[in-house]
Structure 1
């Protein structure tokens, strides 16, 4: 019986959140930034539910908070909201900047996918070919100039960042988490042996390892 009641699709889990917490989760209109630590509040409210698991809620939150409508809401609203739609803490400036950056990247990817491939005309093709070898020296010089700052930047940033000590891997501690090549501010929400769950400044839930955490 439990197996049949369990939701499987992430969109179904989102529908569950929409119906269970209508003042907090919105499909399109009225989206507002979520309170930091909202996952913990949801977990307490759905304790004992045979419909969704905590893992599914994390996945649904990840999808909800990475949506461009949500990111846009982070940049426009002054306060975050709790599960009942009440104002919680203020949206910090760094959260707004992070959301703006994520929004720009998301829109750029979408525009790239939608951009039609227009066949080049003969004139365009020829002029493009002529431009290639026209200034080999200047392009080589630019390549050399662009290559130099990269390792210096890496050294500077690596000198400032320190790994988070094992005894500081605790719930509610503020940290920086490594996502690809970037370090993003986050809050630890759960520690489960080697796995650590953190909440990013945008509200997104991420599972990572302790060795990917750094001191703020």
Structure 2
């Protein structure tokens, strides 16, 4: 009896996607933005497969689309591609801006991790090179600074963001999903009990709850 080696590791699932859809998924060179709704297309192609599950594909897509190379591809390519490498829809400007923001945040975190520490003294304490302020400087610091510029009045947003009505929690509906403190444009790809799967503008797959979805 023939046995099937079911994939377990996310990297193995990515290798599966690289081999099954070489014109769409690339490891390093030639990466291009994926067609919106690519998960649904993959699910149809692997229907009945004992080697990989839809959940594993979703996790692999999340890792693939959050990679620096992929985010850079979103900012540099005009069109997306389907599973066969054919040109799909155009990359919208808001998708580019979201990818640029994600890149900047990721690079900032990486730079923070690599930030060198100050050398320690013999007692193991961090040396401080901060110059003590002069007595006159300390008095100046206590005085409140007066600004000659008038206070800037920020314009109020005209559009209201409201929770997505329950009857609109449907596949293919355009929504805004709350990620941390930000609202990101997304498309509903699957509704399963209390869980809602959405695809962000960058192509990343995210699992959330209906009460985290909004409409503008």
TM over 0.5: yes
Q: Deviations over 1:161-195 (max 9, x none)?
A: 10000000000000000011110000000000110
Hey, what does 1:39 align to over in structure 2? 39
Partner-residue secondary structure (3-state), 1:185:
strand
Asked if the contact 1:74/1:95 (under 8 Å) is kept, the reply is yes
Q: Could you tell me how far apart the structure 2 residues matched to 1:169 and 1:202 are?
A: 21
Q: How many angstroms does 1:3 deviate by?
A: 8.3
CA distance in structure 2 between the aligned counterparts of 1:31 and 1:194, rounded to whole angstroms: 34
The answer for the alignment partner of 1:16 in structure 2 is 16
Output the TM-score relative to the length of structure 1: 0.84
C-alpha change, 1:190 and 1:115, in structure 2 (3 Å) is same
**1:41-78 deviation digits (Å, cap 9, x = unpaired):** 00000001111111000100000000010000000000
How far apart are 1:130 and its partner, in Å? 4.5
**Distance in 2 between residues matched to 1:195 and 1:168, nearest whole Å:** 14
Alignment of 1:182-197 (within 5 A): 182-197=182-197
Whether contact under 8 Å (1:2, 1:50) holds in the other structure is: no
Equivalence for 2:104: 104
Distance (Å, rounded) in 2 between the aligned partners of 1:183 and 1:190: 19
Matched residues in 2 for 1:129 and 1:52: separation?
64
More helix by share: 1
Quote the Cα distance in structure 2 between the aligned partners of 1:77 and 1:120. Answer: 48
Indicate the residue corresponding to 2:170 in structure 1: 170
Structure 2 unaligned spans of 5+: 122-126, 147-152
SS in 2 for 1:127: coil
Gap regions ≥5 residues in structure 1 = 142-148
Counterpart of 2:29 in structure 1 is: 29
Alpha-carbon distance between aligned partners in 2 of 1:116 and 1:7, rounded to the nearest angstrom: 40
Partner Cα separation in structure 2 for residue 180 and residue 192 of structure 1 = 22
Cα deviation for residue 120 of structure 1 reads 7.3
Q: Which has the larger radius of gyration?
A: 2
> Aligned-pair distance for 1:207?
0.3
Matches within 5 A, 1:87-126: 87-119=87-119, 125-126=128-129
The answer for the alignment partner of 1:65 in structure 2 is 65
**Residues 50/113 of structure 1: CA separation in 2 closer, same or farther (3 Å cut):** same
For 1:186, what is the secondary structure of its paired residue?
strand
**Number of residue pairs aligned between Structure 1 and Structure 2:** 202
Partner of 1:144: none
User: 1 CA distance for matches of 2:131 and 2:200?
Assistant: 44
**4+ residue segments displaced more than 6 Å:** none
